[in-house]
A and B are shown apart, each in its own frame.
Chain A
């Protein structure tokens, strides 16, 4: 049982480059989330998808876009990477928005130079 799978695990980008972080869950969960984690800042919500076909902004959405491709997959895109986006990114999922026992992917460590 894979749970939540993120790719890639590590990535180095140059300023201005674009990339997409992929996330897939096999738990038949309705809701999915993207967080970033920086030292001393805790987990901050970037975007979330309450259910297939919907997405909403979180606390720190600027510079990011998301796509809920289907029930399993939720991708995060950086259109023009900036050094301030250097962080560890986590994808998570929950059964729905009222049952929020969240399960996390293994994370993507992104460095923008």
Chain B
């Protein structure tokens, strides 16, 4: 089993809709969880971090963490064409390098 798994997509949503991106991880001792956005030909950019169970909101973005289910998600409300990118989930087990999923490609259709 891969350490961090994401559906590769593409996930296509219409403009203005909610995009839901999902990530599962295998190591129960994982402590920190991150979402990165990567535009084509660019480097990953941190958009959300979450450390405890529940929801964390930042503007149009909401990260959700459920440690019991080993599941973390990212919701993007009012999706815009500029949100079209690959979203990388990353997990840290504490004092070890981040482990990244392969990413989900999101396409927001105008």
Are these two chains actual partners, yes or no?
yes
Closest to A48 in B: B97
Size of the chain A interface, CB-CB below 8 angstroms = 21
The number of inter-chain residue pairs (CB within 8 angstroms) is 48
Interface residues of B in 80-98 (CB under 8 A from A): 88, 90, 92, 94-98
On B, residues with C-beta under 8 Å from A are: 8, 32, 34, 42-46, 49, 88, 90, 92, 94-98, 100-103
A84 to B44, CA, bound (A): 23
* Inter-chain contact A107/B43, CB cutoff 8 Å: yes
* B43 with A105: CB separation less than 8 A: yes
Chain A residues within 8 Å of B42, by CB = 106-107
A6 and B8 CA atoms in complex are apart in Å by 28
Between-chain CB contacts (< 8 Å), 17 pairs: A33-B97, A35-B100, A42-B88, A42-B100, A42-B102, A42-B103, A43-B88, A48-B97, A58-B97, A97-B95, A98-B94, A100-B34, A100-B90, A100-B98, A101-B49, A102-B90, A104-B45
